[in-house]
Copies of this chain bind each other. A is one copy, B any other.
């Protein structure tokens, strides 16, 4: 049922998430969810995609635990779609995507929107990867390494 990217690479830390969101529409749905959309019709109107595709994508997002259906917030008899904790974890990724888009997909004069701090109204900083001791790290400054065995994952 769920698309599976062939072989052993599915166990890599990049390939496995791509199995869940590596699709043109899915991240747009998630972005709309961050923007407060909740209802099937809202997503469809916002994105302009076919209803069957939207239904399939929402099913997939739910199957992966990224979104969930909640009974209803207002009185309406229909369900709503909301991001789970896992789904909200996509925030940095969406920001990275937007910043990359802003940097490389718009001509200097071209109108576009940018992300601002709601409180002060100023543009946010560029995302940067930092080492444990605070140095900014570029592509050449990192390596992947087997994680130490059995460390309980600390979240929050």
Which residues of A does B touch, CB under 8 Å?
Answer: 3, 5-9, 11-20, 22-25, 27-28, 31, 34, 46-49, 65, 86, 88-106, 108-109, 111-125, 127-135, 137-147, 149-150, 152-153, 155
Contacts and interface: CB of A to CB of B under 8 A. Distances in A.
A40 B46 CA distance: 39
Most buried by B among A3, A34, A95, A104: A104
Contact of A129 (B47, B92, B152): B92
The complex is assembled from copies of this chain, and their number is 2
Contact of A115 (B28, B106, B144): B144
A139 B105 contact: no
Given A118-B143, A124-B130, A48 B9 contact: yes
A90 to B, nearest CB: 6
B124 A129 contact: yes
Contacts of A8: 48
Contact of A89 (B6, B88, B100, B150): B100
Task: Give the top 8 A-B pairs by smallest Cβ distance, nearest first.
Answer: A117-B131, A93-B96, A17-B101, A22-B24, A122-B132, A113-B144, A13-B101, A92-B96
Given A9-B47, A138-B91, A119 B131 contact: yes
A142 B124 contact: yes
29 contacts: A5-B25, A6-B49, A7-B48, A11-B112, A13-B98, A14-B98, A16-B106, A17-B98, A17-B104, A17-B105, A18-B97, A19-B24, A22-B24, A34-B139, A93-B96, A96-B127, A103-B155, A109-B150, A112-B146, A115-B145, A116-B143, A117-B137, A117-B141, A118-B141, A120-B133, A121-B145, A124-B132, A125-B132, A127-B129
